[in-house]
Structure 1
């Protein structure tokens, strides 16, 4: 599992050649706005909160 933390929007990315099979987020403040895979085929996960607060996106990847 890989993670990325940022304010408002975070995107966690798989290693090159891996495919995202799931993902999600964690935040202490604000409400969730979006949480979705990115890429075709999916190779990451983006999560966005409604507040300008830290959010951590995580992605579960497998080798294709």
Structure 2
């Protein structure tokens, strides 16, 4: 785990969505998704949920 993983998750949480977090970070949505997925794997938890077809932070 590194600062990039945590900061990506923080921005996704602030924005309320992966695509919103990507816009805040000025990177692609797949890049942010990959960072969050790596964080989840390292922590052994699922940090988000699907709501109405959209993946959002818990």
Please indicate, yes or no, whether the TM-score normalized by the shorter chain is above 0.5: no
Q: TM-score range by the shorter chain?
A: under 0.3
Which of the two has greater strand per residue? 1
TM-score by length of structure 1 reads: 0.24
- The higher-RCO structure (CA 8 Å, 6+ apart) is 1
